[in-house]
Amino acid sequence: MNGIQVVEGEVRELIRRQRLDPTTEAVQLRGLVGDVIKDYEQRSLHGGMAPLGDVEHATRAILDAVVGYGPLQPYLDDPGVEEIWINDPARVFVARSGVAELTSTILTQDQVKNLVERMLKPSGRRIDLSSPFVDASLPDGSRLHVAIPDVTRSHWYVNIRKFVTRAHQLDDLVRLGTLTHQAARFLAAAVVSGLNILVAGGTQAGKTTTLNCLAAAIPSNERVVSCEEVFELRLGIRDWAAMQCRQPSLEGTGEIPLRRLVKEALRMRPSRIIVGEVRQEESLDLLIALNSGLPGMATLHANSAREAIVKMCTLPLLAGPNVSSSFVVPTVASSIDLVVHLGLERDGSRRVREIAAVPGRAENEVIEIAELFVQRDGELIRGDGFPPHQERFARAGYDVAHLLGDRP
């Protein structure tokens, strides 16, 4: 056993005796680690004990083990790492700028289980044979997803999607090359004017980041209510009420699904509603809210703007047999105003591939869309379409033709 392991064991024993909580008493624990290391260094001078060597490295390693998340903590601290996932204890991957790489970190099965338990403790969520999946937020805002056997073959699968704060507003997306200045200016005006916006794309395409940036353009006098599976949104809004879903208890009771949150949000006097991600029948309640004149935004997994609209027409059918496409299709046509579609490129960059408008017309259950901005040869350029509700832009003080570059 080396010196670091000895000190770590002594620190853990002191934590147990003093009944300290690493998640809430981190400052006190840092002082405790420093004291134990000093004591160990004094004892090692008299022989019989292996010296620590680099004290700073030893302190960092012990703190990572008892306060942080052990071998994974350096990746959580690294601002260049966007996501961490474990396929088995010997295969730990990270993604940097959208590109995956296998790390040299090797864990044990017990380490993986202990790390997951520590990650879940602050949220109060659990994982066991009766509930083999779990989603939770870490204290820094990262999103944790875990799946365990017998859903998986033999190992625990762990995904940690970090909340990387590279963009807070639409101008930041322009700086990163995700969006053009003209498109950003139009989207900001659309948000202020109260248009309903759907942000679509694949996994890791930047949907949540774009939704955060769009929300930054919401006027400061509006009250925003957001609904999410787990907390991911980071809105710099003064009047913001955020809600997340709740898992069922051990008895199978107490679950609060996303659909319930959307319904409850309407009772909270919102000026605008935001749904983190639309996946199932909650899409029906969102459409009903948007169709009643309440502005809103949401994200959705889809491969194009057209497919996003098609998906919004099919997901509400999951709400029950009494919901028909003859009701859903015209409701989608009249409720969704804009679709912003993003993609993750081969080089790891995120790009807005198209911004489409929904004029509100449907024929034979096919909804018309108009291309406002489209990607040509890697560049986002002006299409030939026009957005709906130009009177809303006018009331907000915007000239749509000028915003789209059709008039100087």
Task: Assign 67 to helix, strand or coil.
Answer: coil
- For the residues of 71-124, what is the DSSP string, one character each? GGHHHHH-TTEEEEEEEETTEEEEEETTEEEE-S----HHHHHHHHHHHHGGGT
Q: What is the pLDDT of residues 341-377, one digit of tens each?
A: 999 888 888 999 999 999 999 998 899 999 999 999 8
264 to 114, 281, 283: CA distances (angstroms): 36, 15, 14
Could you give the domains of the chain?
Answer: 1-68 (no CATH), 70-164 (3.30.450.90), 170-404 (3.40.50.300)
CA–CA separation, 311 vs 296, rounded Å?
Answer: 17
Torsion sign (Cα): 32, 35, 39, 45: positive
Angle between helices 325-335 and 282-291 (to 10 degrees): 50
Q: What confidence tens digit (pLDDT) does each residue in 315-332 have?
A: 999 998 899 999 999 999
**What is the chain's pLDDT, residue by residue, as a tens digit (408 residues)?**
577 778 878 878 888 888 887 767 778 888 888 888 888 888 877 766 777 777 777 888 888 887 788 899 999 989 889 999 999 999 999 998 788 999 999 999 999 998 999 899 888 888 888 889 999 888 888 899 999 998 999 999 999 998 766 788 999 999 999 999 999 999 999 999 999 999 999 988 999 999 999 999 999 999 999 999 988 898 888 999 999 998 887 777 888 999 999 999 999 999 999 999 999 999 999 999 999 889 999 999 999 999 999 999 999 999 988 999 999 999 999 999 999 999 988 888 899 999 999 999 999 889 999 999 999 988 999 999 999 999 999 999 999 999 998 766
Strand order in the sheet with 143-147: 99-102, 91-96, 81-88, 157-161, 143-147, 133-137
282, containing H or E segment: helix 282-291
pTM of the model: 0.83
DSSP 3-state of 393: helix
d(CA 346, CA 202): 13
CA distance 143 to 165: 14
